[in-house]
Amino acid sequence: MAVGVFDSGLGGLTVLAALEKRLPDVPFVYLGDNANTPYGVREADEIFALTCAGVERLWAEGCDLVILACNTASAAALRRMQETWVPRERRVLGVFVPLIEALTERQWGDNSPPREVAVKHVALFATPATVQSRAFQRELAFRAIGVDVEAQPCGGVVDAIEEGDMLLAEALVHSHVAALKRRMPRPEAAVLGCTHYPLLEPVFRAALGPEVAVYSQPEIVAASLEDYLNRHPEMRGEGGASRYLTTGDPIATGHRATTFMRRATSFEPA
């Protein structure tokens, strides 16, 4: 049994790299739905159907625990999946909650009532579908009160990264940050609400300025999963090397994945 990691494309590899570094003895199976990327411009029902299909494929690989390393899937599909679709003996977890717990300085699993937190003005950068879902604001409201969130849909950034056009991606980041700052001139914190965005974290930081605390997901999610596996050791995989699957072209996907993993990565057809 391995731990499954699902993403709509290649962005989840930023999370997987952090998971493999923090949990070197845990085997992972990564599935990128590269044939259908990006999810961020799709309707919620379509995202739900595609995400369920990807999770089922990882279940077939023996992954009873699956991490949705995709903010769009976590925002648009996860709650519905957990409430109506995931069987009792399996688990599907997202990447939003660990990030919000870090932002609100809560310990993992702290279910106490929402309370005042230090950060009052938060900028959220995410895909259009994630922004439209308002899932970040909903999960934040469970844990904190009095926080103003300004969300910026970052159209085109994921497409540019997936196509390897990092110059275009950087230009789009500067444009999106400028658009947000016109509405929220002085954010205290910025959330990079897409697993592609860690590749552009220095660009976000430069555009936002040194006074803005930037929250990115890979290390936060890795620490959260380590804590979860310590509390649920039956979900921890044993033995075997990590594998990488794609619904797209394995050779082309492997070439593009080197941008994310910074090492040669061989993909298998899903």
Residues marked as catalytic: 70, 194
Could you report how far apart the first and last alpha carbons of the chain are, in Å? 17
**Helix, strand, or coil (residue 219):** helix
Q: Which residues, in sequence order, are CB contacts of 214 under 8 Å at separation 6+?
A: 189, 190, 192, 201, 204, 205, 208
Point out which residues pair with 91 in neighbouring strands. 65
Signed CA dihedral, 88, 94, 96, 98: sign only: positive
Are the C-beta atoms of residues 238 and 1 closer than 8 Å to each other?
Answer: yes
Q: Taking Cα atoms as reference points, which of 137, 152, 157 lies closest to residue 9?
A: 157
Q: Taking Cα atoms as reference points, which of 217, 220, 106, 96 lies closest to residue 149?
A: 96
Q: SS3 string of 162-183?
A: HCCCHHHHHHHHHHHHHHHHHH
- Specify burial of residue 117 (Cβ count, 10 A radius: 0-12, 13-18, 19+): middle
